[in-house]
Amino acid sequence: MRVYLPATIGMLRELVAKDEFLPINGTGFALTPALRESYTSGSTEELEYVAQLDAARASLRLIAADLEGEESVTPRRVVVAADLDDVEQRPDLDNAVVRVGGSVPMSAVASVHVDGADAEDAVLAAAKAVDAADLGDLDAEFAIGDAEDHELAWYAPQELPFLLELL
């Protein structure tokens, strides 16, 4: 199953250094039967994109947590796409939510999706507003929309060292 795992630039650095990725709480997003049933139409590719967008929004939460910890933060959403077998569907949390058992080896990573530099201001504003957006704040939701207007760039796993060097 293709699973979309939310991450940060710091987590990508760990992936490259350790050759494995440890998702926070094992949380990922995928095209689950519950997600498919929640849409009246849509191809597999379109519905996988929905799961990827859910992971990108979850990446905003990870960036927000890093901001609270006053860590050095590169405000870019990151989604690691991996092909995994050990996945538990969690429709009790949301239609696309899955739990991954353990760490994800680099060999399972199919691609990585990262915001470009032009998205940093919008991502920073969205990360600061993500909790308020969940509570119905329309201005905060607008900030999230600004970040989501930026498409994530696609990278092959072997390109990660070069990407991180350029940041």
pLDDT at 56 over 90: yes
CATH of the domain at 100: 3.20.170
Number of structural domains in the chain: 1
CA end-to-end span of the chain:
31
Query: Any bridge partners for residue 5, and if so which?
Result: 80
For residue 108, being part of any structural domain is answered with yes
For residue 144, being part of any structural domain is answered with no
The pLDDT-based confidence of 68 (bands split at 50, 70, 90) is confident
CB neighbourhood size of 46 (10 A): 11
For residue 105, being part of any structural domain is answered with yes
Please state, for a pLDDT cut of 70, what percent of the chain lies above it: 99
pLDDT at 21 over 70: yes
- Mean pLDDT of all residues in 52-77: 89
What is the per-residue pLDDT for 70?
67
Q: Which domain holds residue 39?
A: 2-120+149-158
Cα gap 2→79, rounded to integer Å:
12
**Per-residue pLDDT reduced to its tens digit, 113-138:** 999 999 999 999 999 999 999 899 99
The pLDDT-based confidence of 9 (bands split at 50, 70, 90) is very high
For residue 130, being part of any structural domain is answered with no
pLDDT at 26 over 80: yes
For residue 128, being part of any structural domain is answered with no
What is the per-residue pLDDT for 47?
93
